[in-house]
Amino acid sequence: MAEKPVIVLVRPQLGENIGKAARAMLNFDLVEMRLVAPRDGWPNPSAGPAAAGADVVLEKAAVFETLAEAVADCAHVYATTVRKRGVTKPVVTPEEAAAEITRATGRSAIVFGPERSGLETEDVALARAILTVPINPEFGSLNLAQAVILCAYEWSKTSALVQPTAEDTLPPAPQAELEGLIGHLESLLEPSGFFYPQARADATRRTLRGILTKPAWNHLEVRTLRGVLSALVPKRRTSDRSM
């Protein structure tokens, strides 16, 4: 099974953004952060508060002087950039990168550039592929932590660790219970003239049945609706039953 990808921040400027990136990573169970020449040194007092509890990621963050050192043990390096820069490398989406990373043997790294300028051409040259988020061409400024979370999120979707939320909703009520509800409603509507004129009665019944069949109500819901009907037309029922 493939290893989790490493997240590499190259020359990050603000400690706050490093903290937010850590939070985004841990949200999707990524824990290995590497920092290349962070502008304000490391540790950075602004990172902790922004991590909002993802301290474990910050504490284990490793610092390197160059990107080459930071990814030395990685078999697959993805450089994130918004521009293609005319580099002759494959360009993949976060989704495609996640699929490759999960299938891959060896470690993968996803590399993010400084907030303002992005990765330099030399950084990109180290990578095997370019990772680009398909984005609004007229508003392409993606925040660092948000770029990280999109990649982490896509990775988590491919990993076996995260299961889609299992639904624990009740199944639809058995047909007999639904029939009981429909019959109950029809019997209450009968005296009101709802099914007149006679020529259209069958079509009206079908319409009503269609409306009540569509919801796939479970047995609790059907029971509640029987209670609603009894509450709506109490006197008629009482007098029917009297003595």
The residues of the shown chain that bind a second copy, judged by CB under 8 A, are: 20, 23-24, 26-29, 52-54, 84, 88-91, 93, 95, 132-136, 139-143, 145-146, 149-150, 153, 156-157, 160, 162-165, 167-170, 185, 188-189, 192-194, 207-208, 210-211, 214-218, 220-221, 224-225, 227-229, 231-234
Q: Look up residue 83 and give its amino acid.
A: R
SS3 1: coil
* Rounded Cα gap, residues 208 and 193, in angstroms: 14
Contacts of 197 (CB under 8 A, 6+ apart): none
Phi, psi of 111, deg, nearest 5: -110, 130
Q: Which residue has the tokens 């009520």?
A: 173
Residue whose CB is less far from a second copy, 13 or 27: 27
Number of residues that this document lists for the chain: 243
State how far the alpha carbon of 79 is from the alpha carbons of 18, 28, 43, 50, 74, in Å.
17, 20, 24, 24, 13
Task: Report the residue number, 37 or 92, with the smaller CB distance to a second copy.
Answer: 92
CB burial of 183-199 (b: ≥16 within 10 Å; e: otherwise) equals: ebbeebbeeeeebeeee
Q: What is the dihedral of CA 223, 229, 232, 234, to 10 degrees?
A: -90
Q: Which is nearer to a second copy, 136 or 242 (CB)?
A: 136
Q: Which is nearer to a second copy, 2 or 142 (CB)?
A: 142
Taking the least distance from each CB to a second copy, the nearer of 24 and 36 is 24
Q: How far is the CB of 11 from a second copy (least distance, A)?
A: 20
Q: What does 47-77 look like in DSSP terms, one character per residue?
A: HHHHHTT-HHHHHT-EEESSHHHHTTT-SEE
Least distance in Å: CB of 160 to a second copy?
7
Kindly tell me which of 141 and 242 has the beta carbon lying closer to a second copy: 141
Query: Which CB sits closer to a second copy, 69 or 162?
Result: 162
Distance CA 86, CA 196 (A): 74
